[in-house]
Amino acid sequence: MPTLRRYHGAVASPRPPRIGVVIRNVTWVGIAAHAAFVPLFWYLEQPTLARFNVLSVLTWVAAALANRRGRCTLAMWLIAAEVAAHAVLAVTHLGMESGFQYYLLPLIPFVMFNDELGTRTIAVVPVLVLAIYLGLSRLAPPTPLSPEAVALLGYPNMVIPFMALALVSYYFRLASMRAEQRMEAMALTDPLTGLFNRRHMGDRLREEQARAARGGRPFGVIMADVDHFKRVNDLYGHDAGDRVLVEVARLLSAGLRGHDVAARWGGEEFLLLLPDTDLEGAKTVARRIHEQSGRSLQVVQGVGEPITLTFGVAIFSGGPTVDAAIKAADLALYEGKSSGRNRVVVRDGGPTPAS
C-alpha cells in the first residue's frame, strides 16, 4: 500500500542535520574555488595569498571529512573561519576593488542554518560579519593590481558568493519543505505503527461517504482487534506489546489492496477502509488477512505464544453518516470476541472459525 509506506517512512526516518546537508553540497564549490585561486595568485605575484589558498583547500577538505563523520558544527566553524580569514587577508593585500569582501555575506545565512547553535551565537555572527566588513572598508589599502587584474578577480568574486548564497537558500528551502512533510506525516500517522491515526481515518471515512453518496457504490469497513492483548502486556511487557502492534500493522498493510486504507483506531484496535467494496468483497479481504495472520503471527519476538486477531466486517451502503457502519463492524467484532475470538464475523452472518 504505497501511501501508508510513504507515511511510515516519513515517520520512521531519522532527521538528518540540516547544516550537514548544506556543507556536503557546498564544500565542492569551496575546494574548487580555492584550488583555482592558487595559480591565479602566483600569476598576480601574490605568493602569500597563493600559499594561504593551499591551506584553504586543506581546511575545506578537513571540513568535508568532519561533516561526513557527523561533526557538522565543527565543519561549519572551519569553513566560516577560513572564509573570514581569506576575505581579510585578500582585501588587506589587494584592496576592496578585488571583491573578496563579498565572501563574508554568505556566512550569515550559512551559520544561521545550523539549528544546533544557540540564539546568542546566531545574534553575534551578523554583528561580527558587519564589523569585519566595515573595518575592511575603512582600513583596506588601494589596490596594487592593474585594471585588467581587478576585472579578472572581480567577476569570480561576485559569482562565487552569489552561487554560495543560492545554494544555501536552496537547501534551506528543501529542508523547510521536508520539515513540513514530517509535520504533516506526524499529524496523520500513529508514531508506533506508521499507519494512519484515528483522526485522519475519520476524515477519510467522511470523504468516502460523500463519494459513495454521489456514485451509489458501497464501501467496506473492517474492525480488527488483537486477542488477549492485555495478557501479552502483563506477561511479556509493554515493549513486547508494541512489537505485536507493529507486526499487526505490517500484516494489515501487506494484506490490503492499493486503494484500501488502514489505521490504528485505538489501543489494539485497527480499522480498515475498503472503497468500492460490497459485503462479499469485504469478507474476502478480512478472511484473507485472517489466514495470513495465522501464519505470520505465530512467533513475535519476546512473546511466548501465537498472536491471533478477531475481525468484524460491515459495509456502508447509504445513510446520513458512516457511524452506523462502524458501529456494525464493532458489534460484529464484539460478537467474535464473545464467541471465542480468532475469527471473522460479518454484519449479516455468523462467525467464520479459524482453521
Non-local CB neighbours of 177 within 8 Å, separated by 6+ positions: none
pLDDT for 348 equals 60
| Residues 324 and 265 reside in one and the same domain | yes
Phi/psi at 116 (5° precision): -85, -10
Q: How many domains does the chain have?
A: 2
Is 334 exposed, middle or buried (CB count within 10 Å of its CB: 0-12, 13-18, 19+)?
Answer: middle
Which residues in the chain land under pLDDT 70?
1-17, 348-355
Q: Is residue 132 within 8 Å of residue 88, measured between CB atoms?
A: yes
Q: What is the CB neighbour count within 10 angstroms for residue 54?
A: 14
Summarize pLDDT for 161-219 with one digit per residue, the tens: 888 888 878 877 887 787 787 787 778 889 899 999 999 999 999 999 998 888 888 99
pLDDT for 159 equals 84
Classify the C-alpha dihedral 325-328-334-338 as positive or negative.
Answer: negative
> Does a structural domain hold residue 192?
no
User: What are 179's three cell numbers?
Assistant: 520539515
Whole domain around residue 245: which residue ranges?
A: 198-353
| Residues 271 and 302 reside in one and the same domain | yes
pLDDT for 355 equals 40
Q: Which of 153, 187, 221 is the last residue of a domain?
A: 187
Specify the DSSP element, H or E, that contains 351: strand 351-353
Say how far apart CA 178 and CA 31 lie, in whole Å. 28
Say how far apart CA 210 and CA 204 lie, in whole Å. 10
| Residues 145 and 9 reside in one and the same domain | yes
> Does a structural domain hold residue 176?
yes
Say how far apart CA 148 and CA 215 lie, in whole Å. 75
pLDDT for 4 equals 38
Residue 223's DSSP bridge partners are: 271, 312
Question: For the chain, how long is the longest CA-to-CA vector?
Answer: 96
Residue for grid cell 593551499: 54
Q: How many CA atoms are closer than 13 Å to the CA of 231, on its beta-carbon side?
A: 8
Non-local CB neighbours of 338 within 8 Å, separated by 6+ positions: none
Computed on alpha carbons and rounded to an integer, the radius of gyration of the chain in Å comes to: 31
pLDDT for 17 equals 64
| Residues 345 and 243 reside in one and the same domain | yes
Q: What is the CATH number of the domain that holds 231?
A: 3.30.70.270
| Residues 129 and 87 reside in one and the same domain | yes
pLDDT for 178 equals 78
The span from the first CA to the last CA of the chain, in angstroms, equals: 27
How many helices (H) does the chain have, and how many strands (E)? 12, 6
> Does a structural domain hold residue 193?
no
Beta strand 343-346 with 309-316: parallel, antiparallel or unpaired?
parallel
